[in-house]
Structure 1
C-alpha cells in the first residue's frame, strides 16, 4: 500500500498495449494510488478517454492546460507504459515537444521516480539508438524494464498477441519499491 494521497502519473504512448492502460490504473488504485493519465498526442486514438476519466475521476491530459484550468496534482511517481520506441528515444535526448515529454524531461531533476515499461519489438530494440537511449536513462537512475527477467521485446508483427501478457503489475511493483526506498 502507498501513502494516502500519493499521485501516480501514468504516461501512455501509442502502442499496441495502450488500449489496456486501464488495467494498470486499476492495479494502482487498488494499491491506494491516485492516478492521473497523461497520453501522448498519438496515444489519444488508442485509448478510451471517457472510460479512463470515469475510472480515475480526472481528465486525461495530452496537452498543456489553459491558464484558467486547474493544475493537476504534482506527481509522486511516474510510470511510462506502454512506452514506445519514439518516446523512449526522445526522453533520453531531453526532447520536450509534447506535454508528456515535458513532464518526463523535468521529473528526474525533481527527484520523481520513473519506471518505463516498453512495448517494442526486437527489431526496434536491437537498434543502436534505442540501446543508447536505454543505457542513458538507466545512467540517470530511471528504471527501464527491458531485458531478462523483465520484459523481452516481441517479434515484429506479433504485438497484438502479447497484450494479454503485458506485465503492467511489474511496473507497479517497481514504482512502489522506489517509493519505499525514497522514504528510508
Structure 2
C-alpha cells in the first residue's frame, strides 16, 4: 500500500531542491502531495507545472473554496521543510491565514504524524519567540528537527542550501510511520 506524504515548504533556499526530494520520496514508495507558502510558490513559479507532473497532483498554496472537492487524498504523514521563522511561529501561534499552516495546525488535532525542519539563520534563531514556538510544536507531538541532529543555523548570508539535511527529514518521516503494513 502506498503511503501519502504531504511535503510542505516555505520560501527558504532549500525549497529549490524540492523536485529531487520528491523523487527521493517516490523511491521510498511514497505518493507526494506538494504544498507551499505563497512566497515559495512564487519562487518556484516557473517549475510548478513540472512539479505537478512529477507528483501527479496539483501543487497547492491556497485554501480551496467552500464546496470545492479536495484534490488530495488523506495524508499519512506531513513533513514541513524548509520551515522559515515566519512559518514556524505562525504554526505554533495558530495563525492559519496560509494554506500549509492551516493544514499542519489542524493536523495536530487529527493526530497526523508530522515533522518540521526549520531553515533559519542564527540571527532569527536568537529571537525569543522561535524557541517558544519550537517547544510548543514539540509538546504538541510534532517531531522538531533542529539543532544537533537536525538543521543547524548559519550566520546571516552564509547559508548552504546544498547541505540542508533533506535525507534526515525523509528518514524521520519513515520512522514516524513505522514499517509498511
Counterparts of 1:150 and 1:99, CA distance in 2: 25
Gaps in structure 1 of 5+ consecutive residues: none
| TM-score, scaled to structure 1 | 0.91
Matched residue, 2:147: 147
Counterpart secondary structure, 1:11: strand
Q: Secondary structure at the match of 1:17?
A: helix
Alpha-carbon separation, structure 1, partners of 2:24 and 2:107: 23
Q: Which moved more, 1:141-150 or 1:79-88?
A: 141-150
- What's the CA shift string for 1:72-120, capped at 9, x where partnerless? 1111100001111000000001111111111011001111011111111
Q: How far apart in 2 are the matches of 1:50 and 1:158?
A: 31
Q: Does 1:9 align with 2:6?
A: yes
Contact kept, 8 Å, 2:34 with 2:59, in 1: the verdict is: yes
Per-residue CA deviation, residues 115-153 of structure 1 (Å, 9 max, x unaligned), is: 111111011112110011011111111111101122110
1:133 is matched with 133
Whole-Å separation in 1 of the counterparts to 2:20 and 2:129: 30
Task: Check conservation: 1:21, 1:82, Cα contact below 8 A.
Answer: no
1:34 paired with 2:31, answer: yes
> What SS does the corresponding residue of 2:107 show, helix, strand or coil?
helix
For these two proteins, the number of residue pairs brought into alignment is 178
Distance 1:55 1:130 in 2: 34
1:1-150 matched pairs, under 5 angstroms? 4-47=1-44, 48-66=47-65, 67-150=67-150
SS at match of 1:71: coil
Question: For residues 102 and 41 of structure 1, what CA distance do their matches in structure 2 show?
Answer: 13
Match of 2:161 in 1: 163
Instruction: Report the aligned-residue RMSD.
Output: 1.6
